[in-house]
Amino acid sequence: MKKVDFMCTAFRDGLQSVYGARVLSKDVLPIIKMAHEAGIEHLEVGGGALFQSPFFYTKENAFEIMDNIRSTVGSSANLQTLARGVSVVALTSQSSDIIDLHAKLFKKHGMTTIRNFDALNDVENLIFSGQSIHNAGLKHEVCITMMSLPVGTSGAHDADFYEKTLKEIIKSQIPFDSLCFKDASGTSTPAVIYETIKRARKILGDSVKIAFHSHDTAGTCIAQYLAAVEAGANQVDLSLAPVSGGTCQSDLLSMWHALRYSDYTLDIDPEKILALESAFTEAMQDYFLPPEAKEVNPIIPFSPLPGGALTANTQMLRDNDLMDKFPQITRAMADTVKRGGFGTSVTPVSQFYFQQAFNNVMHGDWQKIVDGYGKMILGYFGKTPVAPDPEIVKLASEQLNLPVNTKKVLEINDANPQLRLPHYRDILTKENLPTTDENIFIIASCGEKGVLFLKGASTINVRKEAKSAITSAPTLSSDQPITIQLDGESFVVEINGDQATVNGTTYRMNLNQESAPSQPQSTKSNTINAPLPGLILKLLKPAGATVKAGEVVLIMEAMKMESPIKSHVDGTIDQIYVQNTQQVKSGDRLFSIKERG
Please give the full DSSP string across 325-394, using - where no structure is assigned: GHHHHHHHHHHHHHTTT---SSTTHHHHHHHHHHHHHHH-TTSS--HHHHHHHTTBTB--SSPPPHHHHH
Provide the edge-to-edge strand list for the sheet that holds 546-547: 527-529, 589-595, 571-576, 546-547
Yes or no: say if 130 and 142 are a contact pair by the CB < 8 Å rule.
Answer: yes
Which residues make Cβ contacts (< 8 Å) with residue 398, sequence separation at least 6?
A: none
- Rounded to whole angstroms, how far apart are CA atoms 46 and 267? 25
CA triple 482-488-490, angle to 5 deg: 25
The pLDDT averaged over each successive group of 10 residues in the chain (597 residues) is: 97 94 96 98 95 95 98 97 96 95 98 98 98 98 97 94 98 98 97 98 97 96 98 98 96 98 97 98 95 90 86 79 90 96 94 92 93 95 97 97 96 97 98 98 94 91 60 43 50 59 54 44 66 84 92 83 84 92 86 86
As a whole number of angstroms, the distance between CA 316 and CA 322 comes to 8
Phi and psi based region of residue 17 (left: phi greater than 0; alpha: psi -120 to 50; beta: remaining): alpha
CA 166 to chain CA centroid, Å, is 25
Per residue in 454-476, pLDDT (tens digit) is: 999 888 888 887 443 323 334 44
DSSP letters spanning 14-57 = IHHHHHTT---HHHHHHHHHHHHHTT--EEEEEETHHHHHIIII
Strands (DSSP E) contained in 146-222 are 178-182, 209-213
| Burial label, 107 (beta-carbon count in 10 A; 0-12, 13-18, 19+) | middle
Rounded CA-CA distance 315/319 in Å is 6
Identify the H or E element spanning 502. strand 499-502
Q: What's the Cα-to-Cα distance from 259 to each of 33, 190, 211, 254, rounded to whole Å?
A: 26, 16, 17, 9
β pairing state of 42-47 and 78-83: parallel
| Nearest residue to 528 via CA among 493, 580, 575 | 575
pLDDT of residue 67: 98
Residue 496, pLDDT score: 61
- Distance, CA of 118 to CA of 129 (rounded, Å): 10
Contact call for residues 493 and 500 (beta carbons, < 8 A): yes
CA pair distance 448, 431, nearest whole angstrom: 12
Query: 561: buried, middle or exposed (CB in 10 Å: 19+, 13-18, 0-12)?
Result: buried
**pLDDT reported for residue 416:** 97
Cα separation of 79 and 7, whole Å? 10
Measured on CA atoms in the order 81, 83, 88, 90, is the torsion positive or negative?
A: negative
The half-sphere exposure of 263 on its side-chain side, counting CA atoms within 13 A, is 4
Of 23, 110, 11, 112, give the one whose Cα is nearest residue 67.
110
Cα Rg of the chain, angstroms: 24
DSSP assignments along 209-254, one per residue: EEEEE--STTS-HHHHHHHHHHHT-SEEEEB-TTS-STTSPPBHHH
Q: Residues 33, 73: contact at Cβ < 8 Å?
A: yes
